[in-house]
Amino acid sequence: MAKYRRCTIVMLKGVGAASQDPTITLLQAKSDGGSSIALNFTRIDVKQASALSAVGQFTKVTQAAANTYTEATAGEKQALWCIEIDSDDFDDDYDWLQASIADVGSTSQVGTVLYILHEPKYPQAALPSAIV
């Protein structure tokens, strides 16, 4: 995040089993592989249903500041979760971001987490890599 102002974290998952609800956790660090601390957020935009094609708009979910999110019926649904992070959300000298999903068991919830960086701090023809 040192070279970008914003990052959208996107989590996409398939239908799994009831009571095996995923939990997404955000951490911040000062360096690659360095010790990390919680990166709190209060908003997450959610689409989830037995079929995502049946869901129109995202639902805005507001929570008390925390670095995790889960939803009690997400295990048995398809889900698309988006979390917007601003570089100002980080503590001083922290600019590394990590999102992880806790192991939910032996279900078929194959999924992915994507980081979409935007608003470069130093715009130029060839944008700097966020991957070191």
9-49: pLDDT as tens digits: 999 998 888 888 899 999 999 998 889 999 999 999 999 99
Q: What digits encode the pLDDT tens for the residues 104-116?
A: 775 567 688 999 9
| pLDDT score recorded for residue 131 | 76
In a domain, 52, yes or no: yes
In a domain, 127, yes or no: no
In a domain, 128, yes or no: no
In a domain, 68, yes or no: yes
Confidence of residue 6 (pLDDT cuts 50, 70, 90): very high
64 phi and psi, to 5 degrees?
-65, 150
In a domain, 28, yes or no: yes
**Kind of pairing between the strands at 78-86 and 111-120:** unpaired
Predicted TM-score of the model (pTM): 0.89
In a domain, 131, yes or no: no
Q: How many structural domains comprise the chain?
A: 1
In a domain, 14, yes or no: yes
Cα(71)–Cα(59) distance, integer angstroms: 13
In a domain, 107, yes or no: yes
Q: Which amino acid is at 90?
A: F
Domain that holds residue 16: 4-120
